[in-house]
Structure formats: C-alpha cells, structure tokens
Amino acid sequence: MSDEEVEKFAAAYGELRRIQEEHAGDLGEAGDEEEARKIQQEMQTKMGEAIEDEGLSLEEYKEIFDAVRQDQELTQKVTEMVEE
C-alpha cells in the first residue's frame, strides 16, 4: 500500500469520525426505530460519499482499514495524520 493510499484513508477516516459525531446526538434523540433507521441510512450515505471523495472505493477503504488494525506502526501513522 502506498503512502498516498494511507493519506487518502486517513482523510476519509477523519471525515467518517466527524460524520459519526455529528449524528450521534440525532440518534440519541430519535423518537422511534424508523427515525433512527433513517438517520443511520443518511450517515451511511454520507460516509460512502466521504470515502469516494477521497478517491477510494469502499473495498479499498476496508482493505486499508484491516491492514491498519493489524499493523501497529501503520495505526500510529494514521492516527497522527487524522489528528493533524
């Protein structure tokens, strides 16, 4: 995996975290299951778009995510990129 792919992943990951945080309160305030499902669906759509906006497919994102979880150095590198 190239440094460019890792950078794209880190940017997408940071955006996904932001989307989750943005919608966490909405989920907590959802009146019923249907409303919660709609919020989750909206989140998933935004998350998919965020990944694609960084130039990654969902499959590529998942592959990099799995690699990051298994490699401590890579995890640290991504963490530093996300925090910048």
Higher-pLDDT residue of 41, 23: 41
Segment 14-39 mean pLDDT: 85
Is the Cα torsion angle 43, 20, 55, 62 positive or negative in sign?
Answer: negative
| Residues above pLDDT 70, as percent of the chain | 99
Q: What is the pLDDT of residue 4?
A: 93
Q: Which of 22, 17, 12 is CA-nearest to residue 52?
A: 12
